[in-house]
Each structure stands twice: as structure tokens, then as C-alpha cells.
């Protein structure tokens, strides 16, 4: 295994042209520096510095290495130094966010306004989240994701709660049965849109309704919240959707409380741990937390 500390020693030795001078600069004893030079000679197979009168002069091999070593050492120092303060006004970067439908419509406008105000050079790309597979985060295809944490979430992922949500019923404005849908009898008698999405709340509503004694009559099956709400807007169908997550989709429809108990859930922010220390990614996370905070209007 190469000892990269030797590169720093070699860089200083070649710059000083003196064992004593290099020792002073690196705060080593002359004997320790002599041992380091001996080790460098052994590793490179070249004397590197040879005596000429009372001074040392570099060999051709040393002259060849001088520029290369300096560049490597400078690069290593740049990599290892603490990250500089982030200048958002000059930041140019594209972030990819993977979200379930409804998130963009609900939180996107406020998020974009905040990001444009603080970092106008940043581009935000939203991609669909058809499943709960963690591979896109792990493999760097996306930078951040929103969703519910469960047993399928990769254990190494970082997570931060964004907001609490609950299930509500949705029908068109003026629905003839709206006043009765908050009862088990009325809810069970209605014709429902069933939402089936791979691994995403596909059975929770059905199980909770059955446990309370309401067997839903399914008229249509769709694969997402947007389609369900759209159908309800123009028919007498009933849909059951997350309240806060679909706020931006529920224009022109009426919302009612469900007539049975069903557990709420937490929408969280997820990212891969390699992004923990990235200052721009930290800023993105703070923006998402800001716009998703309860009661936030900015």
C-alpha cells in the first residue's frame, strides 16, 4: 500500500533542495527527514537528491517528478480541506427528485419560488415514483425522494419526516350522496374508484373499511391519485386519497371525513448517506422541509 505522506515529503524536499530545510518546514528532526529521504529513494528506485559540494541537487528523475508531485499534493489538499461556504447565488446544478403524484402539484409551486429566490441557477427535475424500490437513490439516478418508510425501504437510507397525512374521501361538488358518505351505510353504498399502486397503500383503505363493516362497491380501478380524483370530478364515483399530499389535485371536488378508523402516516424525505455532507444537497433538503412544514404559505 503506497504511503501518500511520502508525496508531501517529496514535494517539500524537491522545493527546498535541502534535508535540513525540508525538516524545518515539516517540523521534523533532520534524522527523521533523512530516513524519509531514504524511504523515498527505495520506493522510487532513484537517489532523487545527490550531493554537489555542500548542497544537494535533484536528479533528472527528481526534476521529472517535481511538477507531477506538486499537482497531486495540491489536489489532495483541495479534496481534504473542509467544504467552502456555499454561494447559492452562483450555484449551478440539477437535482432530481422522485415523488408520488400529487406532491408536485401540492408543493411544487412554493418549492420552485423558494429555490428561484435563493439559487436561480438550480434546475429541479421531478420524476415519477411508480414503486418503493431504493435502487434509484442508491445508484445516484435521483438525488432525493419523498414517501412512506416501511420494511421495503433500504436500511442505509437517511430519512427526515416532512409532514403527517391522513386518508379522506373525495367526490364531485354537488354529489347527491355527499351528506350521507360520512356514514358506514352511505360510504358502503357508493360506487368507488379503487387505487392500486405497487407497494404504495394498495390495500390499507380496503382492509380498514372491511374491518368497520363497510364493503366498498368497486366500479373502476386506476393506478394513481390523479386519475381517481379526475374521475370523481366528472362522475358520481367516490375516491379515498391522502389529504395533504393531494391538496394540489383536489381543486373542484369536495372532501369528507371517512366513517371508519384508519391509521395516518408520515411522509418523509429520503436520500443516500453519501449526500449527507454535500452543502447544496443540504440546502435542497432545507427547502423541502420549509415548504412542507404545516401551515407554510410561502
Alpha helix positions (H), 124-268: 135-138, 184-189, 204-212, 225-234
> Which grid coordinates are listed for 143?
438525488
> What's the CA gap between 75 and 127, in Å, rounded?
35
Per-residue burial over 78-102, b if 16 or more Cβ lie within 10 Å, else e, is: eeeeeeeeeebeebeeebbbbbbbb
Q: What is the DSSP letter of 247?
A: G
Question: Checking DSSP bridges between strand 239-242 and strand 265-271, what pairing results, if any?
Answer: unpaired
| Predicted local confidence at residue 285, as pLDDT | 96
Q: What is the pLDDT of residue 68?
A: 81
Q: By CB neighbour count within 10 A (0-12 exposed, 13-18 middle, 19+ buried), where does 236 fall?
A: middle
Q: Which residues of the chain have pLDDT under 70?
A: 1-3, 78-84, 198-202, 295-298
Report pLDDT for 297: 41
95 in helix, strand or coil? strand
pTM: 0.69
How far apart CA 292 and CA 102 sit, in angstroms, is: 13
Q: Which domains are delineated in the chain?
A: 5-80 (1.10.10.10), 88-162+271-292 (3.40.190.10), 167-263 (3.40.190.10)
Distance CA 287, CA 124 (A): 12
The residues that bridge with 191 in the sheet, in sequence order, are 217
Q: Which of 15, 97, 24 is nearest to 48 (CA)?
A: 15
d(CA 146, CA 159): 9
Place of cell 358506514: 184
Interacting residues of 251 by C-beta distance below 8 A, sequence separation 6+: none
Least Cα distance to 148 among 163, 138, 135 occurs for 163
CA distance 150 to 148: 6
Q: Is 150 helix (H, G, I), strand (E, B) or coil?
A: coil
Amino acid at each position: 500500500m503506497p504511503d501518500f505522506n511520502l508525496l508531501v515529503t517529496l514535494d517539500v524536499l524537491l522545493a527546498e533542495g535541502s534535508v535540513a530545510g525540508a525538516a524545518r518546514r515539516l517540523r521534523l528532526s533532520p534524522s527523521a527527514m533523512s530516513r524519509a529521504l531514504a524511504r523515498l529513494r527505495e520506493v522510487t528506485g532513484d537517489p532523487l537528491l545527490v550531493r554537489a559540494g555542500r548542497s544537494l541537487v535533484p536528479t533528472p528523475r527528481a526534476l521529472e517528478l517535481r511538477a507531477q508531485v506538486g499537482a497531486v499534493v495540491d489536489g489532495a489538499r483541495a479534496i481534504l480541506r473542509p467544504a467552502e461556504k456555499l454561494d447559492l447565488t452562483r450555484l449551478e446544478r440539477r437535482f432530481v427528485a422522485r415523488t408520488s403524484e400529487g406532491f408536485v402539484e401540492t408543493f411544487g409551486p412554493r418549492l420552485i419560488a423558494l429555490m428561484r429566490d435563493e439559487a436561480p441557477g438550480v434546475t429541479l427535475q421531478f420524476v415519477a415514483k411508480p414503486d418503493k424500490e431504493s435502487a434509484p437513490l442508491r445508484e445516484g439516478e435521483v438525488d432525493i425522494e419523498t414517501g412512506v418508510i416501511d420494511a421495503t425501504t433500504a436500511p442505509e437510507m437517511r430519512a427526515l419526516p416532512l409532514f403527517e397525512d391522513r386518508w379522506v374521501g373525495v367526490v364531485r361538488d354537488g354529489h347527491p350522496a355527499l351528506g350521507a358518505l360520512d356514514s358506514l351505510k352511505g360510504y358502503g353504498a357508493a360506487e368507488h374508484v379503487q387505487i392500486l399502486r405497487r407497494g404504495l397503500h394498495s390495500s390499507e383503505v380496503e382492509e380498514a373499511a372491511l374491518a368497520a363493516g363497510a364493503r366498498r362497491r368497486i366500479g373502476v380501478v386506476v393506478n394513481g391519485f390523479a386519475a381517481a380524483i379526475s374521475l370523481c370530478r366528472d362522475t358520481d364515483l367516490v375516491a379515498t386519497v391522502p389529504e395533504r399530499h393531494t391538496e394540489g389535485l383536489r381543486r373542484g371536488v369536495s372532501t369528507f371525513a371517512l366513517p371508519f378508523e384508519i391509521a395516518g402516516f408520515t411522509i418523509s424525505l429520503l436520500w443516500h448517506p453519501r449526500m449527507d455532507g454535500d452543502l447544496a444537497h443540504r440546502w435542497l433538503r432545507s427547502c423541502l422541509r420549509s415548504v412542507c412544514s404545516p401551515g407554510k404559505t410561502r
